[in-house]
Amino acid sequence: MTFYRWRDQDEKLSAEFDRAIAESEVRLVRSIESAGQTDWRASAWLLERRFSHWTKREAPVPVQVAAPVEVIVRREDRRGTTSENESVTE
């Protein structure tokens, strides 16, 4: 029997599980809000996910430039290491 079937058959277990999930959510949101006091990115992250209809990003607008432009592509891995991969002049 899977956990979810067991939970569905036991009202007490189901209520305890739902309460634990809700308490966990409250703790996590408080933690993000606390981090937002010193780092705006935590607040921005929460805002983007909680109120996505306010923060929806529009499609980028194409830009034409009359002068030569050098584009440097940098990649960042999961450890935060940045490396230059290519440079293109148009």
pLDDT in tens, 19-64: 999 999 999 999 999 999 999 999 888 888 887 776 666 666 677 7
Return the pLDDT at 24: 92
Q: Is the pLDDT of residue 69 over 90?
A: no
* Degrees, nearest 5: CA angle 69-70-75: 135
Q: Where are the domains of the chain?
A: 3-89
Is residue 83 within a helix (H) or strand (E), and if so which, with residue range?
strand 82-89
Cα separations (Å) of 23 from 29, 35, 43? 10, 18, 20
Provide the 8-state DSSP code for 10. -
For the range 30-38, what are the long-range contacts, defined as Cβ-Cβ under 8 Å and sequence gap of 24 or more? none
